[in-house]
Amino acid sequence: MVRGFSFKALSSVVQAVSGRFFNGRSPVSGLPGCGRGARAAALFGLVALTSAPAAAWAQAMPPELQKVWQAAKLPDAAFSLYVQEIGGPVLMAVNAGQPRNPASVMKLVTTWGALAGLGPNYTWRTAFYTDPGARIDEQGTLKGPLYLKAGADPNLTAEELWGLLRELRLRGVKNVTDVVVDRSVFGAVAIDPSEFDGAGDRPYNASPDAMMVGLGVVRLVFQPDRQARRWIPLIDPPVPGLRIAGDVAWSDAVCPGSPGVVTQVSSAGADATITVSGQAAGSCGEFSVYRLVQPQQRHFETTFQMLWRELGGTLGKGFREGKVPGGATLLTWRDSEPLSEAIRWVNKQSNNVMARTLLLTLAAETQGAGATVQSGMRALQQVLNGQGVNTTGWVFDNGSGLSREGRVTAQGLGGMLLTAWNSPLMPEFVSSLAISGVDGTVRRRLKADEVRGMAHLKTGSLRDVRALAGYVLGASGKRYVLVSMVNHERAAAGRPFDDALVKWLAAR
């Protein structure tokens, strides 16, 4: 708590920004049929196929898994599968060379590329500078502008920004004329959060920005007033220019789960109104909803101003874009958590905007400042090609998987997972994945004793896409790589097969 400012546990915010809340359309409709020239190889009674007629396809998996797949009533051509024992044979390969939309499973590619290309100890620096020789007088007035070099920290919280501003106050700075924000590490990367699916207030659609704070998200807290049978809304952070209108109806029902709250954001100049509606059961107790309310730049500025005032500082003219001049004096800085920690947020919680930021950071560090999505894709391609990963047919797009164009192949992704496993960076990468039945996006799946904790996985979900990839530890002590992707309008029907596949491997 900082002078009346409440900071929620960051994991809740990151979950709110995760792609698993997305319900947009996938680009896949009318998938092509099976190609010609299928190749088959018998492995322990199983047939590995990259493209084959349905009759042969059925032989590519054991009968118990065939039964689960057939129950889904999905066309075989909509499905890709690759399973290999680490250090051993390929067990299953179905349409494994067919490029498909992986949804958020694409984050495996981005996080591995960033980890391999930047190293586990890579950090992002956010720093304040002054003009060379600039003085701070006895009243705390800084002569000349205060420069802020944005370092593209993907996980800078409002609390951490407060700590950085407090370091300014400790160094005698109180009165600032203007703040020059240098975002030059990235080029033109801002997106319209409404462009993808029209849900511009949903955190999973957040735009990347070199000076992002709190993921660009505000938390709407609903406190129960049981005596009055009403909900009291609060905004966190309580920045000026934001207000809540409308009302969430009180219900006396037994808590049914997540409250049904609807929000609509409307802007008028620099101000914004969040109109709320819906209903929530009082028995559920206090709850929070996360929303994008302002553009990233505006969200940063209002948060900065609020925290600076709370620290006793003043700001005259406000903010402007610019660059830190050569020879500027470093005043204070903050280094982020290491990349090895950041990728845990990306993969376990499926955080889209952090994944986008990793892609851009890789480009900035390997190809120079002014990073764009295009330079990010080139940088990622170079890392994977240098490792010998087969990326034929792949399209990285923005690196998050929140895309209609993203494509990978099951066999190529399986090969990348094997490369990661055989790397000295394996522990950092594998620990970033969600653990079956324990945490992340699979904490509510695969909870049976025989499979709980036996798999490290990444899920992917768009309306027409379901994907799962990662590592499974078998009962024998052997470990397996799996990649499963379905692109079809009824792709959700493939989830029971994915769960059955993980259970089958865990029992081996």
Is residue 117 within 8 A of residue 425, CB to CB? The reply is: no
Helix boundaries (H) for 93-140: 106-118
Looking at CATH, the fold of the domain delimited by 124-192+296-336 is given as: D-tyrosyl-trna(Tyr) Deacylase; Chain: A; (3.50.80)
CA distance 396 to 391: 10
Residue percentage of the chain with pLDDT more than 90? 85
Provide the residue ranges of all domains of the chain, joining segments of one domain with +: 19-120+340-506, 124-192+296-336, 218-288
CA distance 77 to 49: 12
Please, which residues have CB within 8 angstroms of residue 104's CB and are 6 or more apart in sequence?
18, 19, 20, 350, 352, 400, 401, 402, 458, 459, 460, 461, 467
State the average pLDDT over residues 454-476: 97
Q: What is the pLDDT of residues 250-276, one digit of tens each?
A: 999 999 988 989 999 998 888 899 999
CA distance 221 to 244: 11
pLDDT category, 43, cuts 50, 70, 90?
very low
| Mean of the per-residue pLDDT values of the chain | 89
DSSP assigned state of 2: B
Q: What is the pTM of this model?
A: 0.89
The pLDDT value recorded for residue 219 is: 96
Considering the segment(s) 19-120+340-506 as one domain, its CATH architecture is 3-Layer(aba) Sandwich (3.40)
CA distance 352 to 202: 11
State the average pLDDT over residues 409-436: 98
Token output for 145: 């502008």
For the cut 80, the answer to whether the pLDDT of residue 363 exceeds it is yes
Helix (H) or strand (E) holding 80, with range, is: strand 79-85
Is residue 132 within 8 A of residue 369, CB to CB? The reply is: no
CA distance 475 to 505: 8
pLDDT category, 9, cuts 50, 70, 90?
very low
For the cut 70, the answer to whether the pLDDT of residue 445 exceeds it is yes
Helix (H) or strand (E) holding 410, with range, is: helix 410-421
- Establish whether domains 19-120+340-506 and 124-192+296-336 are of one fold: no
The pLDDT value recorded for residue 258 is: 86
